[in-house]
Amino acid sequence: MKNEQPENREISLYGQGKVTSKCLALNIVKLKQSFPKLPDGWYVVFEEMLDGEGFTDERLNDAVRNLIKTCIYPEPTIANIIGYDKKIKRYTHNDILETTKDYSVQQRGIFWDSLEKHGKFWIKKGELK
C-alpha cells in the first residue's frame, strides 16, 4: 500500500492577498468603537498578523463583522479574527465513490448532480462565488 499524504480537500473561498490601507483603517475604526478597551499595541500586532496570513479586504471585512456579532468575551483576541475563514470541501472521484457506495442508484445520481467539476476535484454547485 502506498503511503501518501492526502491533498488538502478544503480550500478558502477568499484566496490570498493583502489588505488595503483603506480597508484596514475602516475595520480598525469599527474594532475601536466596538471594543474601546483594546490597547494600541493590539492593533500593531493585529496588522502584522494580517500581512502574514495573506488576508484579503473581503475576508477582513467578513471577519470583523463576524467578531462584532459573535464575540462572547469582554475583549476579543487577534485569533478571533485571524482564524475566520469560509472553506469549501473538494471531492476526488474516489471520495465520491466511497461516500456513495451504500446509496441507491437514484441517491447516487442526486449526489453527483449536486456537484460540479473543477480541475481534478468536484465541489458542491454554487459554493464558489
pLDDT in tens, 29-67: 999 999 999 999 999 999 999 888 989 999 999 999 999
Burial profile 53-88: b = 16 or more Cβ within 10 angstroms, e = fewer: eebbbbbbbbbbeebeeeeeeeebebebbbebeeee
Please tell me whether residues 66 and 33 are part of one structural domain.
yes
Give the model's pLDDT for residue 25.
Answer: 97
- Check pLDDT > 70 for residue 3: no
CB 18 within 8 A of CB 12: no
Q: Is 56 within a domain?
A: yes
Q: Is 37 within a domain?
A: yes
Q: Read off the pLDDT band of 11 (50, 70, 90).
A: confident
Q: Read off the pLDDT band of 85 (50, 70, 90).
A: very high
Continuous segment of H or E residues that includes residue 124: strand 121-124
Q: Read off the pLDDT band of 10 (50, 70, 90).
A: confident
Please tell me whether residues 42 and 74 are part of one structural domain.
yes
Q: Is 68 within a domain?
A: yes
Q: Is 1 within a domain?
A: no
How far is C-alpha 114 from the chain's CA centre? 21
Residue with cell 502574514: 52
Please tell me whether residues 93 and 74 are part of one structural domain.
no
Please tell me whether residues 16 and 67 are part of one structural domain.
yes
Q: What is the DSSP letter of 39?
A: -
Please tell me whether residues 93 and 80 are part of one structural domain.
no
Please tell me whether residues 77 and 17 are part of one structural domain.
yes
CA 82 – CA 76 distance, rounded (Å): 11
> Grid coordinates in use for 64?
470583523
Please tell me whether residues 99 and 119 are part of one structural domain.
yes
Please tell me whether residues 81 and 108 are part of one structural domain.
no
How many domains does the chain contain in total? 2
Give the model's pLDDT for residue 34.
Answer: 93
Please tell me whether residues 23 and 61 are part of one structural domain.
yes
Selected residue with higher pLDDT from 23 and 95: 23
Q: Is 4 within a domain?
A: no
Q: Is 129 within a domain?
A: no
Q: Which domain holds residue 112?
A: 89-124
Rg value, the chain, Cα: 20
Give the model's pLDDT for residue 6.
Answer: 52
